[in-house]
Amino acid sequence: MAQEDVFKKVVSHCKEYGFVFPSSDIYDGLGAVYDYGQNGVEMKNNIKQYWWQSMVLMHENIVGIDSAIFMHPTIWKASGHVDAFNDPLIDNRDSKKRYRADVLIEEQIAKYEEKVEKEVAKARKRFGDAFDEQKYRETSPKVAEDLAKRDALHERYSKAMNAMDLDELRQIILDEEIVCPISGTRNWTEVRQFNLMFKTEMGSTADGASTIYLRPETAQGIFVNYLNVQKTGRMKIPFGIAQIGKAFRNEIVARQFIFRMREFEQMEMQFFIKPGTELDWFQTWKKTRMAWHQNLGFGAENYRFHDHEKLAHYANAATDIEFKMPFGFKEVEGIHSRTNFDLSQHEKYSGKSIKYFDPELNESYTPYVIETSIGVDRMFLSVMCHSYQEEQLENGETRVVLKLPAAIAPVKLAVMPLTKKDGLPEKAREIIDELKFHFNCQYDEKDSIGKRYRRQDAIGTPYCVTVDHQSLEDNTVTIRFRDTMEQERVNISGLLGIIEDKVSITSLLKKLK
């Protein structure tokens, strides 16, 4: 299946099976805002649990908080968001469509890379078994030419972005002859800066009301609570504060479903450390976070680091963890070494000292910070895209199955009476009444067993149990496994033992060790 088709299918599957709906659906939706349905919310909660527990339960020196979305407006001045949380935007006069200038150029860079890959693929076909790929890449004049163009463009682009030279960004778009994908023309406006923060007003009278912002990241809620947590928790450096919560950005181009939303959720952890140790801790957190992702079993080849060349002015190292989505490798998580920028800024703007007294060194300093920041929704999307599969069965039928990690699946067990009579529904309910304290169970008695299995496959339920007449006699049921579709006769009393461990977040956490 073409990757583009996979993505389209995932989007419609999410809606059809109660995972993700467009917000305000009966009013035709609201741009780049989405709601999670009955299955989506369970899966999202499981992802959050996996993250939260891996941070807060697994690390003695990491604690959590839940700070408010509204914060003192000066915080966003101190953090730099009021002055610098901008994207460069450009409009096409013919289509009236708006684009991010940086994204247009990055896509152009990617095109040169795609061209190289196409050349290599063509040569591989031409030369067959005798093909020496490395040699070809090193010696082909065509490959060399494309790579040179890519590097030159990359250098020019980095320079323009570092200097935020808007005229130069526009000039690059013109020189590269980048066209609007809708109108096909090069009729571009100037490039302008656009601040991504949503504003609102707090206070009841027009005079007394002050402008406040919907937070564009959860991190600042952690920084401004650093002192509170450090003191009340008697935390010693190194230590971390974790938080999960909503963030809001008025994205210029919101597309690709829940990849880029205007209201989304972040899971962030700020790790406070001694100055000078940040590059070691940066490496440690890179490793730890990559292991967390790969622990889901989606295959190491689907992840990569993308180290930033253009660093924010306060950062001294930064990388993204990218996942192979159907539309290419994309950022799911950022890991940043933020120096002591945020805490120093809050010291300056609040006038409060945010120093840590290090008893070992017998001196005070403003701690440095390593940040790990992951979007819940992007994580959700990556899990969905990877798990969605269409399988050709022996009987010629196709089944759609979500091969979700069992611990992430919204429903863990479906219990199905073979018929709606003869006491089978009651027996099925008995099983659920016992197991519902341990994990999410679903009762299903409608349609044929085959159809019921398909329904559960489509939402990724790892186990189905069928109650039949024999169950009434000997307390056994058939358990069916989602991935292999194999069935086994087991005793009802053994179900908890078979299922519980496999579907728990604990099982995932134990594998991390």
Contacts to ligand ATP by CB under 6 A: 217, 249, 251, 260-261, 264, 266, 331-334, 373-375, 377-378
> Rounded to the nearest whole angstrom, what is the least distance from the CB of residue 86 to ligand ATP in the complex?
12
> Rounded to the nearest whole angstrom, what is the least distance from the CB of residue 375 to ligand ATP in the complex?
2
> Rounded to the nearest whole angstrom, what is the least distance from the CB of residue 206 to ligand ATP in the complex?
32
> Rounded to the nearest whole angstrom, what is the least distance from the CB of residue 7 to ligand ATP in the complex?
16
Nearer to ligand ATP, 150 or 378 (CB): 378
SS3 254: coil
> Rounded to the nearest whole angstrom, what is the least distance from the CB of residue 327 to ligand ATP in the complex?
12
β-pairing verdict for 62-64 and 363-365: unpaired
HEC states along 343-391?
HHHHHHHHCCCCCEEECCCCEEECCEEEEEEEEHHHHHHHHHHHHEEEE
> Rounded to the nearest whole angstrom, what is the least distance from the CB of residue 46 to ligand ATP in the complex?
17
Phi-psi category of residue 257: left, alpha or beta, with phi > 0 → left and psi -120 to 50 → alpha: left
Nearer to ligand ATP, 47 or 404 (CB): 47
Cα 75 to the center of its chain, rounded Å: 26
Helices 101-127 and 141-162 meet at what angle, rounded to 10? 170
Quickly count: other Cβ atoms within 10 Å of residue 393's Cβ.
Answer: 9
Nearer to ligand ATP, 331 or 347 (CB): 331
For residues 385 and 20, is the Cβ–Cβ distance under 8 A?
Answer: no
> Rounded to the nearest whole angstrom, what is the least distance from the CB of residue 196 to ligand ATP in the complex?
9
Residue partners of 439: CB distance under 8 A and separation at least 6: 412, 413, 499, 500, 503, 504
Phi-psi category of residue 184: left, alpha or beta, with phi > 0 → left and psi -120 to 50 → alpha: left
Cα 206 to the center of its chain, rounded Å: 39
Give the H/E segment covering residue 425.
helix 424-435
C-alpha closest to that of 95 among 9, 220, 219, 179: 179
CA 360/CA 238 separation, integer angstroms: 12
For residues 23 and 29, is the Cβ–Cβ distance under 8 A?
Answer: yes
Nearer to ligand ATP, 216 or 417 (CB): 216
C-alpha closest to that of 242 among 373, 343, 378: 373
Residue with structure tokens 């949380």? 85
User: DSSP letters of 386-422?
Assistant: HHEEEEE-TTS-EEEEE---TTT-S-SEEEEESSSST
Nearer to ligand ATP, 64 or 179 (CB): 64
Amino acid letter, 343 = L
Residue with structure tokens 């939303």? 261
Nearer to ligand ATP, 341 or 439 (CB): 341
> Rounded to the nearest whole angstrom, what is the least distance from the CB of residue 374 to ligand ATP in the complex?
5
Nearer to ligand ATP, 230 or 337 (CB): 337
Helices 166-175 and 101-127 meet at what angle, rounded to 10? 30
Nearer to ligand ATP, 157 or 264 (CB): 264
> Rounded to the nearest whole angstrom, what is the least distance from the CB of residue 220 to ligand ATP in the complex?
12
Nearest residue by C-beta to ligand ATP? 375
Nearer to ligand ATP, 49 or 266 (CB): 266
CA 225/CA 222 separation, integer angstroms: 5
Nearer to ligand ATP, 183 or 295 (CB): 295
Six-digit token pair at 445? 């008695």
Nearer to ligand ATP, 260 or 427 (CB): 260
> Rounded to the nearest whole angstrom, what is the least distance from the CB of residue 378 to ligand ATP in the complex?
4
Nearer to ligand ATP, 378 or 412 (CB): 378
95 exposure class (CB count in 10 Å sphere: 0-12, 13-18, 19+): middle
Nearer to ligand ATP, 334 or 462 (CB): 334
